[in-house]
Amino acid sequence: MREINRNIVSGVIVSKDNKILMGRGRDGSVYNDCWLIPGGGVDEGETKLQTLVREIKEEAGLDVSEYEPELVEDAATGESEKTLRDTGERVLVHMQFFTYRIIIPKLAENIKTQAGDDLIELSWVPIDSLNVYKISPPSEKLFKKLGYIK
């Protein structure tokens, strides 16, 4: 199996009522059986912040360009198998994660989202209910680091 390296940028999007936007991945995507925060790979010529805005728009239908992102993690790594959409090839992806927290000063119910791209379902999850969901390993590590779960 071929191996590839990817820088992955993702966003912990937190609403005014302390809910986090989580998504469930499509079949064949990395961690498709888990809930995770929106994000994706940095394309050639893109900055990490450009990737953050693009990926959240593609996966959650949400424009976060007007908010100030805070870098909360840049040392996490992970690996998973993935099916490439354009070729159908299975590859092992080695990932370096760059995660930003974005606080949106609105109630979750007033933030319009729409699942797209790699995510087939979205949910605003209360921080104190994160442990009820099957969360991707990188998101679980991040949430422990941020004190959201034990």
pLDDT number for residue 136: 87
pLDDT number for residue 26: 75
Residue carrying the six token digits 């198998």: 81
Fold designation for 2-145: Nucleoside Triphosphate Pyrophosphohydrolase (3.90.79)
Domain boundaries, the chain: 2-145
Q: How does the average pLDDT of the chain come out, rounded?
A: 91
Residues 16-74: pLDDT tens digits? 999 999 999 877 666 777 899 999 899 999 999 999 999 999 999 999 999 999 999 99
> Model confidence at 78, in pLDDT bands (50, 70, 90)?
confident
**Torsional class of 31: left (φ above 0), alpha (ψ -120 to 50), beta (otherwise):** left
pLDDT number for residue 28: 62
Cβ-Cβ contacts under 8 Å for 138 (sequence gap 6 or more): 31, 36, 76, 78, 95, 97
pTM of whole model > 0.95?
no
Mean pLDDT of 86-91: 90
> Model confidence at 94, in pLDDT bands (50, 70, 90)?
very high
